[in-house]
Structure 1
Amino acid sequence: MTAEVGILNANGLVLAADSALTMGNSEQMKIFNSGNKIFSLGPTHSIAIMMFGNVLFMGIPWEIIVTGFHQKIGSRPLDKVSDYCTEFFNYLESVDEIYSSIYTEVLIIGYAENVSNILENTTYIPSPGAFTLADYQKAVEEKIPALLKESEKMKSITKKAPIKVFSDRYGEKLDEVFKELFDTVFLGLNLYDKFKPDLYKLVRNYVYSDSYYPDTYSGLVIAGFGFDELFPSIYQYDIAGVVDRVIKKRLTVRQIVMNDFAEDRCSSAIVPFAQQDMVHTVINGIAPDLEADLGELLRATLRKFVSELTEKKLLKESDAQEINKLEAMLVESGLDAFDNMKQERHLTPVLMTIDSMPKEELALIAETLVNITSFKGKISFSMETVGGPIDVLLITKGDGPVWVKRKNYFTPDSNRLR
């Protein structure tokens, strides 16, 4: 995990990122605090590329890919940031090394492990009385066809491979993943063969889906100024490997500073990436998990209130349907009022301040937001997956990319040209 943030207004754009790189899984984890996540294309391009999530794409470090792209486009700046996005993916498609059968197999196994985790964490309603394993097993059995049915509705990024071709190519690897799950959940009841065809189809559908992304995807941020643009913009893509020579990607963030307020346009923005909870807490005045629990708290309070009124004969049980409608309306009204209060007291004042903030202050704010996320990890029981030096890159129309803070893996004085 990592913490990154982009802040932009009419004066410029700043990107900040920590240096922690997490490798392994929850059982065996190693954290390095020396990773580079921001790459400048300067000085002739007022553009930077920032990455998070998986540091590799089909086995190739993103840093190597960005370096190759920088060399490919040369020194002539492009007109718009969106042109850089287009040219970057055109370049990526031209890299022969990404079409690796070995890493395609690794990608498929990752999807299978995702499905396995979903099934293993299946929730269920236990039978009255003591817990029985049968309740859990039944829930898993019912979930497989339900997931498959849902996956059949997903749009595909390209034509799906026939299931026989897919099974012949990857079946053995999928069996290794799913047999372990079934031996654990069903205790050797030999039920895997019954569900194997559905599981193969489910993984195949997820691989080709344009909306399902595994936990191992990469996030890529392309931000700055095009040559013809007065104001900065920021684009973020999720990228999940290559499927039949098609790069699986989706645009998830697009913020463009403009002096109008059409869709995706703004006068300023704070855009967090990867681990976002503390940034949202600061700018919204409430932690996202607490806000998510607020609706359930309101519902539980109203149910208890109605239950007590009913017990005291102050409400008729025959009015239950109308009471349920009223309860839903009150919860929705309460959440809307809370959201308006949050906007008025916290988010709007913050963004109004960012609107006119000098570029030097933007850099300080971005660094502080990443630092707060790192600090939160130090005072909690969770793994400290955010840490190390914070790199801060400021991009303005006049000066282009300027490093406000940047770690070096070498001593500059020892590497000066003589």
Structure 2
Amino acid sequence: MTSEVVLMNRQAVAMAADSAVTISGHQYVKTYQSVDKLFPLVEGQPVAVMIYNNAEIMSTPWETVISLYREQARGRPLDTLEAYAEDFMAFLSGNPDLFPPDHQDTEFFKHVAVVFTVVAEDFDYQVRKFSESNAGRLRDHLSSIFEFVVNELYADYQRYPDDSPRADLACFPSGMAEQVRRRYRGEIEQLVDSLIATLRGDYQGLSVSEGTRERLREIAVLSVVKDAFFEHYTGVVFAGFGARDKFPAMRSYLTSSVVLGILKRKQDRAADMTSDGGPVVQPFAQDRMIRTFLTGMDQYLRMYLFGETLKLSMHLVTDVIGRTPGLSDAQRQALFRDYSENNLGYALREFFKSIDHYQYAAHTRPIYRAIASLPKRELGETAASLIKLNSFQQKVMHAIETVGGPIDVAVITRNGGLEMKRDKPDL
């Protein structure tokens, strides 16, 4: 993993990234602290790019791909930061020399194999849960457990967590799903057969219906075209100035594989400084300590407090209603239902709204005010310090240090251009 951040005010933009990378395999985890994740995008132009989550695209190092783009760009200026980002994405998509069709075929196979690995791992987990529950003979339930796992992943590709329909990615043309289905029918069938054969080797008695096999085939297609990145993906963050940009801007994308000549991608965040807008603080990847610093409260602690406050309130309401004399059971239930659905919900919302207001006034607003007026040097130092917070937390905890090493910092201004340096990792 990694930790990265973008800070912007009206004068400059600062980007910072650690240099740690974690390589894991069967029964081993190794961390190195010498990886570059932050690069100039176009020679002589005030634009930089940084990557997180995956150091390669299509089995090719991102550093190599960015270098090739920089060579073909030849210092060409573009009007906006977004134009730079989209031009880079077009370079990845429409470039058969970089990713030939046979290479794309191989990477599609790997892409679906990773998705099916998710199925296998979840199946193993559900089998362990069932075994621990002592709910019956495992052999009699293997098929229904597998069907449940496949249906759950299929549903995840169909709907967002809030249960709204999951959209197709805008980067693909209409009919892309059918193109993938036709082009890779044989490869998908081979992967489905391989997944089932592997699981049957581990779990004797597993049978898979044709309906479940069809769901697996559809999952392979949906994993390409849907707005979901359950496979290995890379976050790509651009920041700086276009030729016509008065103030700095930032764009970030999630990217995966090139399929049938098109890069699977989506723009997930965008920020533009304006003459009357506040500063921008955008952390990426491992950002827990940065967000804690900005808000004054750990986000997981906040969720825990909400849950515990809800339980305490429910217990108090139950106790008070239970002790109230002269009420029938029906009246008690109606009173509890009315209070829990209306009064209690409103009270909790107001309580945490008050906490949010205090957090913003006492912690976030003073920090944002400072960032808004920082000169470029101090802006870069602040960005580096935020990364060091994440690194320091992991250093003092009993955990693998997936954030660490020297901090690469890029500071970009319209007049001064791009300045890069490497900062020491210690606070």
Structure 1 gaps of 5+ residues are 261-265, 408-418
Structure 2 gaps of 5+ residues are 159-164
Alignment partners' CA distance in 2, 1:289 and 1:26: 30
Q: Give the aligned length.
A: 398
| Deviation for aligned residue 1:78 | 1.6
The farther-off stretch of 360-369 and 396-405 is 396-405
| Deviation for aligned residue 1:251 | 0.7
| Deviation for aligned residue 1:167 | 4.5
1:132 and 2:135 are equivalent in the alignment: yes
Letter in 1 for 2:352: L
Structure 1 vs Structure 2 CA RMSD:
2.8
Q: Against the structure 1 CA distance between its residues 57 and 278, is the aligned structure 2 distance closer, same or farther, given a 3 Å change threshold?
A: same
Kept in 2, the 8 Å contact 1:124–1:139? The answer is: no
Partner of 2:111: 107
| Deviation for aligned residue 1:164 | 7.1
Q: % of aligned pairs identical? A: 23
Alignment partners' CA distance in 2, 1:275 and 1:181: 33
Runs of 4+ in 1 over 6 A off after TM superposition: 123-127
1:293 and 2:304 are equivalent in the alignment: yes
Kept in 2, the 8 Å contact 1:120–1:181? The answer is: no
Matches within 5 A, 1:336-415: 336-405=353-422
1:199 and 2:200 are equivalent in the alignment: no
Q: Helix, strand or coil for the counterpart of 1:344?
A: helix
Letter in 2 for 1:284: T
The farther-off stretch of 197-206 and 141-150 is 141-150
1:250 and 2:253 are equivalent in the alignment: no
Q: TM-score, normalised by structure 1?
A: 0.86
Kept in 2, the 8 Å contact 1:222–1:234? The answer is: yes
Alignment partners' CA distance in 2, 1:179 and 1:372: 47
Q: Against the structure 1 CA distance between its residues 311 and 346, is the aligned structure 2 distance closer, same or farther, given a 3 Å change threshold?
A: same
Alignment partners' CA distance in 2, 1:154 and 1:134: 37
The farther-off stretch of 362-371 and 295-304 is 295-304
Matches within 5 A, 1:16-415: 16-25=16-25, 27-41=27-41, 44-96=44-96, 97-98=98-99, 99=101, 100=103, 101-121=105-125, 131-132=134-135, 141-149=147-155, 151-152=157-158, 153-156=165-168, 157-158=172-173, 159-161=176-178, 166-181=184-199, 187-193=203-209, 195-209=212-226, 211-260=227-276, 266-313=277-324, 316-325=332-341, 326-405=343-422
The farther-off stretch of 363-372 and 112-121 is 112-121
Q: Give deviations 1:247-299, integer Å, cap 9, x for gaps.
A: 11111111111114xxxxx4311111110111101001111211222321221
Partner of 1:411: none
| Deviation for aligned residue 1:53 | 1.0
| Deviation for aligned residue 1:312 | 2.6
Alignment partners' CA distance in 1, 2:42 and 2:184: 44
Q: Helix, strand or coil for the counterpart of 1:192?
A: coil
Q: TM-score, normalised by structure 2?
A: 0.84
Alignment partners' CA distance in 1, 2:200 and 2:322: 47
Q: Against the structure 1 CA distance between its residues 303 and 119, is the aligned structure 2 distance closer, same or farther, given a 3 Å change threshold?
A: farther
Kept in 1, the 8 Å contact 2:94–2:262? The answer is: no
